[in-house]
Amino acid sequence: MTLRLLALTLSITLLSGCGGSGAPGKTAAQAKVLNVYNYSDYIAEDTIPTFEKSTGIKVTYDVFDSDEMVETKLLAGGSDYDVVVPTLNFFGRQIQAGVFLPLDKSKIPNLVNLDPDVMRRIAAQDPDNAYGVPYMIGTTGIGYNVDKLKAIFGSTDVANSWDLVFKPENLSKLKDCGVTILDTP
């Protein structure tokens, strides 16, 4: 992630904060410490040192490895994070539990540049997009060699379904081509 994107992300969350008390939190400039809770390996190794050097704000970067872990910590209260990067799957419950403060959209002029379709998807969990902005989006795709599929199956119609990789009889026909599936725990 670039420093510019980090600065945008951090600036947005600095204005909202976490804590659910409803009381305004300290800004990072006042506290000179920015508390971030994110998945590990989501930013480059030099991002935090570069941010700290350019702003004079120290970053405390805590990591989690699952939705359940971040939710447990946030719902327990007292975490005092300025930036939290939850997944959309759990975001709505965390909003309803009151762990986030609303964003001050007047301080985020680049909101108008965010993809409206993405913002609509987030609004299903965060009505009016009051508590968060997208940080990153993951997608799953299937890539295949058209000529090889035609040679093996007679056409590429089999690629119109997940059966291509989930039916053993199809997968066995592809074993000489090589099949790779990315997986996360």
> Length of the chain in residues, anyone?
185
What is the Cα–Cα distance from 43 to 85, expressed in whole angstroms?
12
Q: Are residues 119 and 167 in the same domain?
A: no
Closest CA to 80 of 52, 105, 60, 58: 60
Is residue 3 scored above 80 in pLDDT?
no
Q: Are residues 82 and 163 in the same domain?
A: no
Whether 23 maps to a domain, the answer reads no
Q: Are residues 40 and 104 in the same domain?
A: yes
pLDDT more than 90, % of the chain: 56
Q: What is the CATH number of the domain that holds 98?
A: 3.40.190.10
Q: What is the largest CA-CA distance in the chain?
A: 66
Structure tokens at 132: 């968060």
Which tens digit of pLDDT belongs to each residue from 32-80?
A: 999 999 998 889 999 999 999 999 999 999 999 999 999 999 999 888 8
Q: Are residues 170 and 82 in the same domain?
A: no
Structure tokens at 143: 């890539």
Is residue 85 scored above 80 in pLDDT?
yes
Whether 17 maps to a domain, the answer reads no
Looking at residues 152-157, what average pLDDT do you find? 91
124, 44 Cβ separation under 8 angstroms = no
Whether 105 maps to a domain, the answer reads yes
Please report which confidence band the pLDDT of residue 153 belongs to, taking 50, 70 and 90 as the band edges.
Answer: very high
- Looking at 129, 156, 171, the residue that finishes a domain is 129
Which tens digit of pLDDT belongs to each residue from 116-132?
A: 999 999 999 999 999 99
Is residue 155 scored above 50 in pLDDT?
yes
Q: What is the dihedral of CA 72, 127, 7, 39, to 10 degrees?
A: 30
Q: Are residues 93 and 56 in the same domain?
A: yes
Q: Are residues 88 and 54 in the same domain?
A: yes
Average of per-residue pLDDT values in the chain = 83
Is residue 134 scored above 80 in pLDDT?
yes
Q: In this predicted structure, what is the pLDDT of residue 25?
A: 55
3-state secondary structure the chain: CCHHHHHHHHHHHHHHCECCCCCCCCCHHHHCEEEEEEECCCCCCCHHHHHHHHHCCEEEEEEECCHHHHHHHHHHCCCCCCEECCCHHHHHHHHHCCCECCCCHHHCHHHHHCCHHHHHHHHCCCHHHCCCCCCCCCCCCCCCCHHHHHHHHCCCHHHHCCHHHHCHHHHHHHCCCCCCCCCCC
List the domain range (segments joined by +) for residue 47: 33-129
What is the Cα–Cα distance from 17 to 28, expressed in whole angstroms?
10
Looking at residues 120-149, what average pLDDT do you find? 88
Which tens digit of pLDDT belongs to each residue from 167-177?
A: 999 989 988 88
Q: Are residues 121 and 153 in the same domain?
A: no
Angle at 105 between CA 101 and CA 109, to 5 degrees: 145
Q: How many domains does the chain have?
A: 2
Q: Are residues 65 and 122 in the same domain?
A: yes
